[in-house]
């Protein structure tokens, strides 16, 4: 198919999907927030009638005893819990299948995802596998591949998910997306479906106090990427999601350096959790774009952490969008206070992109990656575009040469 016709098809697909999204029921998670709000979660679980839960987390959090309070409260409330704590920084198919085994062997009724985006994503896809025991994870790749088989197979909805973020970035506690890695093919891709959205989100800033500055920086900039990509996209977003994206961007520009410099600033920590939630809320409806699809493939190919990939890639892609994104980026520049009187849209947009670069620099983040190899670039570009097109409602559609050029520009 000629490239021009492909682009027309992509836009028609996005336009129709956008209409469909406006007609869908969107059930937001119930938020439990504030210092020490984690202690309230077991009572909520008990009120929902659950007596046996699977806790999905990672070995680092277990070694730091960060789940002790949760375990104590679960015991005191009379809830049995079973733990899968082997989640890797980029959760794998093997991680999910192992968590599923623990869930089934212990007849669990609900799942708690405790940790960063990796643990929450692992919990969400595990829930999808509970509901779709005969559907392999690769066949859930993309949009609505969990819920649609239910109409054919008469399957039940996934179990209730309680999300407890310990980083302020991914927004996975409110999104319909979860990302999985396949070490055999070096692919990393999203599974996106409303039925894997958590029912409850616990935003407890005390859980983020111990985050190292680098993790504070990368997760916070991940949240900014969600806000920016959802705000500048086409067709899917609406007044509500754009409003949440602006709020997220303003909060991040106002608080990320405070949290980075003083990890015990509870107010800044709480604000960053709120920003991450708003960013996740925004892109759940508004979608993401080329920053994410390229970042996923850097993660899949070289295991680059998602939160690090996003801020490094962001300025390159935003510059490539050019005038197609100027209006929206200019509005964000006004919102976060980096524009100046007399600037036109183009100058405001460039000021916003430069502000991201300078923020990255102050947070100690690199401008490029030294892991990229020329031989891998064509494969990464193909995989990135397979993820992005036709689904992501980007301001400007990227072809393989464009994508390869950006990946080359990212190479140190």
Mean model confidence pLDDT for the chain: 94
Backbone angles phi, psi at 167, to 5 degrees: -130, 160
Confirm whether 29 is domain-assigned.
no
Residue 49: give its domain's CATH number: 3.40.50.1970
Q: Are residues 75 and 164 in the same domain?
A: yes
Q: At what angle do helices 400-409 and 306-321 cross, to 10 degrees?
A: 120
Listed in order, strand segments (DSSP E) in 3-143 are 30-33, 52-56, 80-84, 110-115, 142-143
**Tokens read off for 298:** 């850097």
- What confidence score (pLDDT) does residue 150 get? 53
Which of 184, 208, 232 terminates a domain? The answer is 208
- What confidence score (pLDDT) does residue 373 get? 96
Confirm whether 240 is domain-assigned.
yes
Q: Are residues 204 and 282 in the same domain?
A: no
Which of 208, 235, 262 terminates a domain? The answer is 208
- What confidence score (pLDDT) does residue 280 get? 94
pLDDT tens digit sequence for 61-75: 999 999 999 999 999
Q: Are residues 146 and 157 in the same domain?
A: yes
Domain with 196, as residue range(s), is 34-208
- Helix (H/G/I), strand (E/B), else coil: 353: helix
Q: Are residues 8 and 95 in the same domain?
A: no
**Strands 187-192 and 160-165: what pairing?**
unpaired
Q: Is 172 exposed, middle or buried (0-12, 13-18, 19+ CB in 10 A)?
A: buried
Compute the distance between CA of residue 5 and CA of residue 356 in angstroms, rounded to an integer.
35
pLDDT at 108 over 80: yes
- What confidence score (pLDDT) does residue 120 get? 97
Q: Are residues 217 and 345 in the same domain?
A: yes
Rounded mean pLDDT, 33-47: 96
- What confidence score (pLDDT) does residue 155 get? 56
Q: Are residues 7 and 91 in the same domain?
A: no
Confirm whether 28 is domain-assigned.
no
Confirm whether 372 is domain-assigned.
yes
Q: Are residues 203 and 252 in the same domain?
A: no
pLDDT tens digit sequence for 136-147: 999 999 888 887
- What confidence score (pLDDT) does residue 281 get? 94
Q: Are residues 203 and 223 in the same domain?
A: no
pLDDT tens digit sequence for 264-288: 999 999 999 999 999 999 999 999 9
Q: In the chain, how many domains are there?
A: 2
Compute the distance between CA of residue 90 and CA of residue 118 in angstroms, rounded to an integer.
6
Rounded mean pLDDT, 230-259: 97
Rounded mean pLDDT, 205-224: 95
pLDDT tens digit sequence for 355-387: 999 999 999 999 999 999 999 999 999 999 999
pLDDT tens digit sequence for 321-333: 999 999 999 999 9
Compute the distance between CA of residue 45 and CA of residue 149 in angstroms, rounded to an integer.
28
Q: What is the pTM of this model?
A: 0.92
Compute the distance between CA of residue 51 and CA of residue 15 in angstroms, rounded to an integer.
44
- What confidence score (pLDDT) does residue 153 get? 47
First to last CA, the chain: 35
Q: Are residues 220 and 281 in the same domain?
A: yes
Q: Are residues 184 and 265 in the same domain?
A: no
Confirm whether 163 is domain-assigned.
yes
Which of 144, 175, 208 terminates a domain? The answer is 208
Confirm whether 26 is domain-assigned.
no
pLDDT at 91 over 80: yes
- Given a contact cutoff of 8 angstroms between Cβ atoms, the answer to whether 244 and 278 are in contact is yes
- What confidence score (pLDDT) does residue 21 get? 84
Residue 254: give its domain's CATH number: 1.20.1090.10
**Tokens read off for 43:** 């009572």
Determine the Cα angle at 377 with ends 371 and 380, to 5°. 95
Q: Is the bond preceding residue 221 a cis peptide, omega within 30 degrees?
A: no
Q: Is 306 exposed, middle or buried (0-12, 13-18, 19+ CB in 10 A)?
A: buried
Closest CA to 312 of 217, 240, 376: 217
Q: Are residues 349 and 228 in the same domain?
A: yes
Q: Are residues 62 and 156 in the same domain?
A: yes
- What confidence score (pLDDT) does residue 2 get? 85
Q: Is 20 exposed, middle or buried (0-12, 13-18, 19+ CB in 10 A)?
A: exposed
- Helix (H/G/I), strand (E/B), else coil: 35: coil
């Amino acid at each position: 198919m000629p490239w021009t016709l492909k682009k027309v098809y992509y836009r028609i697909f996005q336009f129709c999907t956008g209409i469909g999204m406006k007609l869908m029921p969107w059930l937001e998670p119930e938020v439990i927030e504030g210092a020490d709000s984690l202690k309230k979660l077991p009572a909520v679980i008990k009120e929902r009638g659950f007596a046996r839960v699977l806790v999905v987390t990672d070995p680092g959090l277990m070694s730091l005893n960060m789940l002790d309070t949760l375990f104590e409260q679960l015991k005191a409330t009379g809830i049995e819990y079973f733990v899968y704590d082997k989640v890797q920084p980029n959760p794998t198919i093997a991680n999910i299948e192992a968590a599923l085994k623990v869930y089934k062997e212990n007849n669990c009724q609900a799942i708690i995802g405790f940790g960063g985006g990796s643990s929450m994503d692992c919990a969400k896809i595990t829930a999808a596998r509970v509901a779709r025991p005969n559907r392999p994870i690769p066949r859930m790749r993309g949009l609505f591949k969990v819920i649609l088989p239910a109409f054919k197979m008469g399957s039940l909805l996934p179990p209730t998910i309680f999300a407890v973020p310990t980083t302020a970035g991914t927004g996975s506690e409110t999104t319909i997306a979860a990302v999985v890695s396949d070490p055999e093919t070096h692919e990393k891709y999203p599974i996106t479906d409303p039925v894997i959205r958590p029912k409850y989100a616990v935003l407890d800033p005390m859980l983020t106090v111990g985050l190292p500055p680098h993790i504070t920086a990368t997760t916070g900039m991940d949240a900014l990427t969600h806000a920016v990509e959802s705000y500048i996209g086409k067709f899917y977003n609406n007044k509500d999601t754009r409003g949440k994206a602006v709020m997220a961007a303003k909060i991040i520009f106002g608080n990320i350096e405070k949290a980075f410099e003083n990890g015990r600033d509870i107010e800044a920590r709480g604000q960053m959790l709120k920003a991450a939630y708003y960013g996740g809320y925004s892109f759940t409806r508004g979608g993401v774009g080329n920053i994410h699809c390229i970042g996923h493939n850097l993660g899949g190919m070289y295991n680059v952490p998602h939160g690090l990939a996003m801020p490094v890639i962001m300025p390159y892609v935003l510059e490539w969008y050019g005038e197609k994104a100027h209006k929206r980026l200019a509005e964000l520049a006004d919102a976060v206070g980096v524009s100046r009187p007399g600037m036109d849209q183009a100058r405001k947009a460039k000021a916003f992109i430069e502000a991201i670069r300078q923020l990255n620099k102050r947070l100690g983040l690199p401008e490029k990656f030294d892991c990229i190899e020329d031989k891998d670039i064509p494969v990464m570009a193909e995989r990135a575009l397979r993820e992005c097109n036709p689904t992501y409602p980007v301001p400007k559609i990227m072809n393989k040469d464009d994508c390869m050029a950006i990946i080359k520009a990212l190479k140190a």
